Copies of this chain bind each other. A is one copy, B any other.
Amino acid sequence: MTADTVDTSIKGITGVGETGGVAAVTSAVRGRVDELLAGFLDARRPPVGDPDVAEGYRLLREFVVDGGKRIRPLLCYWGWRGAGGEEPHDDRAADDRAADDRAVVTGAALELYHAGLLIHDDVMDGSELRRGRPTIHRGLAGTSRWTGAEAFGRSAAILLGVLAQAWADELLADAAAGDARGRAARELFNRMRTEVVTGQYLDILAHARADADVERALTVIRYKTARYTVERPLQIGAALAGAPPALLEAYSRFGLPLGEAFQLRDDVLGVFGDPAVTGKPVLDDLREGKRTVLMAYAYARARGPERDLLRTWHGAPDLDERRAAELRRIIVGTGALGEVEGLIALRAGQALDALRDCAIAPEAAQALTMLTERLTRRVR
């Protein structure tokens, strides 16, 4: 229902080529984050020697290490670089290099926290698939040989999500401790957690209330995605480099519209995407009755029988492909899709305008421009 927003591709971004050096650095950062997460999780041994507990730990590790596009770590990294953070040189002392790695470790912590959120999200939504594979609670329910496997899967997933969030906290404490910069980053991380969880709360409320108001749907997006996925990771990275308030605000002006455009693209893909590419069944969003901005526009514009069809089938668990095709026709026909595509273009433009006004290192500006393009135009 919420932060799957989160989980769309940035892989393409890291392809070396078009943007040369910046793309190569981005790719290298991805690799360092992956390595860090794998090392951190490998070191976590269950305190009890039970093979089924070990299997739970293993599933969590796999979920974190094998999946995810590292959007937040990359934004954290480039936020840091933009604020004057410098890559270590090989000829510097190991201690200096470790200090410079704070932005990458912090990014890894953001990713681990995010994994915890996603695991809970899938339990709340009852989702079957993520990243083209069974979700954690489905995987646990499916492999267990016991009665009550469904309930076990859900409970175990709640616990593994909690564990991932606790561990994220430990990883962050390693990177964001001690000095004023660390404390500033930590403070932003704290705010981010409250914001995203409250945004998710607003999202499930909108679902329960069958809310179809465009403004309220945009508020949900702002908290559960725009701040969480873009603004805060950028600012957290910046804080680690000792950025002044003016730069944090500039990142906000860039990050909020980009995050909004990112989520709107996600909503469009949730209804019109190719499941072979997105890794998620394309009927899920419509069957779940997600209260997206796209659907709010459709509700606002549909009249008569089309409105009735929306009300009947949006959120119907037995929605089939034929009915889904009708809903899509309504979404297109009412102009809701066009409205959202227009909004995505507008927000992406606002983000790029704000970026041009940011006084940041040129490589960072180049990287963030590249990320803007990819996050708003992606197909998965």
- List residues of chain A with CB under 8 Å of any chain B CB: 1, 44, 46-48, 50, 52-53, 56, 120, 123-124, 144, 146-149, 152, 154-156, 158-163, 165-167, 169-170, 173, 177, 186, 190, 193-195, 197-202, 204-205, 207-210, 219, 223
**B-side contacts of A160, CB under 8 Å:** 201
Most chain B CB within a 10 A radius of its CB, from A120, A165, A201: A201
Given contacts A146-B209, A209-B146, contact A163 B53 (CB under 8 A): no
The SS class assigned to the A binding surface is: helix
**B-side contacts of A53, CB under 8 Å:** 198, 201-202, 205
A48 touches B198 (CB 8 A): yes
**B-side contacts of A195, CB under 8 Å:** 47
Complex Cα gap A193–B170 (Å): 11
Copy tally for this chain in the complex stands at 2
A120 touches B48 (CB 8 A): no
A197 touches B162 (CB 8 A): yes
- The residue that A48 contacts in the complex, of B52, B123, B223, with Cβ under 8 A, is B223
Complex Cα gap A158–B126 (Å): 14
- The residue that A204 contacts in the complex, of B159, B200, B201, B202, with Cβ under 8 A, is B159
Given contacts A199-B48, A223-B48, contact A186 B173 (CB under 8 A): yes
Complex Cα gap A201–B210 (Å): 35
B208 touches A152 (CB 8 A): yes
- The residue that A159 contacts in the complex, of B44, B186, B197, with Cβ under 8 A, is B197
- The residue that A201 contacts in the complex, of B149, B159, B165, B194, with Cβ under 8 A, is B159
B208 touches A149 (CB 8 A): yes
Complex Cα gap A170–B167 (Å): 15
**B-side contacts of A52, CB under 8 Å:** 205, 209
Complex Cα gap A148–B197 (Å): 20
- The residue that A165 contacts in the complex, of B162, B190, B208, with Cβ under 8 A, is B162
B204 touches A152 (CB 8 A): yes
B44 touches A194 (CB 8 A): yes
A210 touches B46 (CB 8 A): no
Complex Cα gap A149–B160 (Å): 25
B148 touches A201 (CB 8 A): no
23 residue pairs A–B, Cβ–Cβ below 8 Å:
A47-B194, A47-B198, A48-B199, A48-B223, A50-B205, A52-B205, A52-B209, A124-B154, A124-B158, A146-B208, A146-B210, A149-B208, A152-B205, A155-B204, A156-B205, A158-B158, A159-B197, A159-B204, A162-B165, A162-B197, A165-B165, A166-B190, A166-B197
**B-side contacts of A162, CB under 8 Å:** 120, 161-162, 165, 197
A166 touches B163 (CB 8 A): no
**B-side contacts of A159, CB under 8 Å:** 120, 197, 200-201, 204
B56 touches A201 (CB 8 A): yes
B198 touches A46 (CB 8 A): yes
**B-side contacts of A144, CB under 8 Å:** 208
Most chain B CB within a 10 A radius of its CB, from A47, A147, A177: A47
Given contacts A120-B162, A223-B48, contact A190 B170 (CB under 8 A): yes
Complex Cα gap A223–B159 (Å): 14
A148 touches B208 (CB 8 A): yes
Q: Which residue of B lies closest to A155 (CB)?
A: B124
**B-side contacts of A204, CB under 8 Å:** 152, 155-156, 159
